[in-house]
């Protein structure tokens, strides 16, 4: 890191230090290949204003932040947990690989992202490995039923994690090299939407996949204003949420 960049990051941290929560890692659990459940505890988390579907940004080293969805926030004990997916060899993966129980960690949030606090209708979620945490939150908070469609590199690993988290009502599709799986997913979503047109629809995960699925839905006549979108990552870009 250059001296100028380091100074800039320290300055930003100083400005936002009031909003940062000091925590310690209290639990690390490997649920399946590349999927790690991380729990953190901190006194300030007892004051957290958490809306189901909100996000936290975690310092994964050198003032580099990555965004995660808390699966749960326990204000009584001052702790939160989130599922991390080691997608590549970037800063987050390096941090997770070296992480130990008792390690200190700074957290920014929870902050607003998606809001699942008043879902009276069925809900339909599209996503990938980075969306499994939000799928769990959705299932826990929807009044009727959640329907999850996931594109995954390994269906076996994904199903193992979903089972351990108790996520049900999901359809899992392994990625195809030509991206044809996205059309298959979209067709199934469109068919489901035709049966429950009042359902809330959420598109999450990889930006390019969201764009393709969104286009399929739009071309089938589903208004884009019915779609809530959150891109968690994009090829060649860093730090999305």
Residue found under tokens 């129980």: 101
Say whether pLDDT at 226 is over 80: yes
DSSP conformation letters of 180-229: HHHHHHHHHHHHHHHH-TT-EEEEEEEHHHHHHHHHHHHHTT--GGGEEE
The predicted-structure confidence for 9-47, as pLDDT tens digits, reads as follows: 454 444 444 457 899 999 999 999 899 999 999 998 998
More confident residue, 191 or 112: 191
Give how far Cα 198 sits from Cα of 139, 182, 195, Å.
17, 23, 9
Q: Rounded mean pLDDT of the chain? A: 89
What lies within 8 Å, CB to CB, of 31 at 6+ separation is: 37, 83, 160, 161, 164, 165
Say whether pLDDT at 208 is over 60: yes
What lies within 8 Å, CB to CB, of 194 at 6+ separation is: none
**The listed CATH number (2.60.40.4070, 2.30.30.90, 2.40.160.10, 2.40.30.10) that belongs to domain 3-111:** 2.40.30.10
Q: Please answer whether residues 147 and 192 qualify as being in contact, where contact means their C-beta atoms are separated by less than 8 angstroms.
A: yes
The predicted-structure confidence for 103-124, as pLDDT tens digits, reads as follows: 999 998 888 899 998 899 999 9
Nearest to 108 by CA among 20, 39, 44, 42: 20
Say whether pLDDT at 142 is over 70: yes
Work out the burial of residue 216: count CB atoms within 10 Å of its CB; fewer than 13 is exposed, 13-18 middle, 19 or more buried: middle
Q: Where do runs of H (alpha helix) occur along the chain?
A: 3-16, 91-98, 132-141, 155-165, 180-195, 207-219
More confident residue, 160 or 94: 160
Task: Return the pLDDT at 93.
Answer: 87
| CATH annotation of 123-233 | 3.40.50.80
For the chain, domain boundaries: 3-111, 123-233
Say whether pLDDT at 72 is over 70: yes
**Residue 39 backbone dihedrals phi, psi, to 5 degrees:** -115, 140
Task: Return the pLDDT at 7.
Answer: 46
């Amino acid at each position: 890191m250059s001296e100028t960049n380091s100074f800039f990051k320290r300055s930003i941290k100083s400005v936002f230090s009031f909003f940062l929560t000091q925590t310690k890692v209290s639990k690390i659990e490997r649920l399946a290949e590349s999927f790690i459940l991380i729990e953190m505890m901190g006194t300030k988390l007892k004051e957290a204003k958490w809306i189901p579907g909100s996000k936290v940004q975690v310092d994964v080293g050198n003032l580099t932040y990555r965004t995660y969805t808390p699966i749960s926030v326990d204000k009584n004990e001052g702790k939160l947990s989130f599922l991390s997916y080691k997608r590549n060899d970037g800063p987050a993966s390096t941090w997770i690989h070296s992480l130990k129980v008792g390690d200190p960690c700074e957290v920014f949030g929870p902050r607003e992202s998606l809001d699942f606090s008043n879902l009276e209708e069925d809900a339909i979620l599209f996503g990938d490995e980075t969306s499994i945490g939000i799928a769990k939150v959705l299932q826990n908070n929807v009044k009727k039923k959640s329907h999850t469609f996931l594109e995954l590199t390994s269906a076996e690993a994904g199903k193992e994690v979903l089972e351990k988290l108790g996520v049900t009502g999901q359809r899992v599709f392994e990625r195809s090299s030509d991206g044809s799986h996205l059309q298959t997913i979209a067709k199934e979503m469109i068919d489901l939407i035709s049966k429950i047109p009042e359902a809330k629809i959420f598109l999450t995960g990889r930006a390019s996949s969201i764009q393709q699925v969104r286009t399929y839905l739009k071309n089938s006549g589903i208004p884009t204003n019915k779609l809530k979108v959150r891109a968690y990552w994009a090829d060649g870009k860093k730090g999305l949420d």
